[in-house]
Amino acid sequence: MIPPSPPPEARRDVLRQWAGTPVTALVSLVSAAVALYVIWAVVDWAMISAVSPTRPMEDCAGASGACWRFYLEKSRFMLFGTYPYAEHWRPALVSVLLLGLSALVGLRITGRLRWLRPPMLVALWAGVIPLAFVLMGGGAGGLLAVDMSRWNGMPVLLILSVIAIALAFPLGVALAVLRHQTRWPVLRRAAIVYIEGMRGFPMVTVLFVGVFVLPLTLPPDTRISPVMATLIALVFFHASYFAEDVRGGLQSLPGSQQEAAFSLGLSWGKTMRLVLLPQALSRSLPALVNSVIGAYKDTSLVVVLGIHDLTSTARMAFSEPGWGQFALEAYAFVGVWFLLSCAFLSWVGRELHRTEGARSR
């Protein structure tokens, strides 16, 4: 039996629900057309009109699509820059370690890998961070010594983002606790001045201070590389933003939490460590993930200091004579990397929002 068709009014309601007003319908159609055009242009450039990686570089001359042979020739240079070619396994291992540990942290805070306890993560970070510097610098265990001026590409990006964030987080938590407490007014005011002052400066200014001013404050004959100076500046800069995220979590807790802890005989330190801070960190995780995404992307600003991160080595790859026409391929490589890595961080943030929403219901 054929079901009766809906009345005209019902059909109009369905149409209004899907299309909205004529203006929104027009905007949707134009947006869909633009999206289809962009998708077709990307597919045509990357696949249809592209030059296969098996064909010689000469075939890329005048081609309208991507030259996949370029990635075979320049991928290692874009990843590791001027690091000694025979030692590329060392920056590759450092990159894998930092990426793997970051993925473990992301999966753990979304509720997965519950067997991975926080003390285990802290121990892993405490081991991986010095190991990364030993592998990159060498000079121990029979490894060839490599000056920091030759640290380029992916490992530099990860060192200045992943390690800086890992070191800035505990400092930010300490600053948040100092600003939130009222037992020591002097420390509270000092934390306020530091946080507000650091958040008031542009990141580029902090980087220039770290690279050009910090070495002047060190004892004579003390040398610090631009990479280490930049890492120190990023740690102190990101810590101020993490502190505000954690402080927001602390302020969202009802005052009865602290009163109940005191009534049970807990000291202020135990109350903060066992009662308030765990809840505050859980509530501030979505905001912290958002700050991590911003900090990760802003690391590319180090190119203004002459530090060759992934963006800089990609530019160097097509700056050689005869390679200038492959700028799009080089920057596409960088764009895809940031898209994939930031997509993972965004997924972590969405999972945290979803779990927090489920808890609040």
Per-residue pLDDT of the chain (361 residues; tens, 9 = 90+): 555 655 555 555 555 666 667 777 788 888 889 999 999 998 988 888 888 888 887 878 777 888 888 888 888 999 998 899 999 999 999 999 999 999 999 898 888 888 888 889 999 999 999 999 999 998 877 889 998 888 989 999 999 999 999 999 999 999 999 998 888 899 999 999 999 999 988 888 888 888 888 888 888 777 888 888 899 999 999 999 999 999 988 888 887 888 888 888 888 888 888 888 888 888 888 888 889 998 898 888 888 888 888 888 999 888 877 777 888 889 999 999 999 999 998 898 888 877 765 555 5
**Domain annotation covers residue 36:** no
State the pLDDT at residue 8. 55
**Domain annotation covers residue 80:** no
CATH of the domain at 317: 1.10.3720.10
**Domain annotation covers residue 136:** no
Are 286 and 349 spatial neighbours (Cβ–Cβ below 8 Å)? Answer: yes
Task: Name the domain count of the chain.
Answer: 1
**Domain annotation covers residue 330:** yes
Are 315 and 76 spatial neighbours (Cβ–Cβ below 8 Å)? Answer: no
Domain that includes residue 240, residue range = 157-360
**Domain annotation covers residue 133:** no
Are 175 and 184 spatial neighbours (Cβ–Cβ below 8 Å)? Answer: no
**Domain annotation covers residue 83:** no
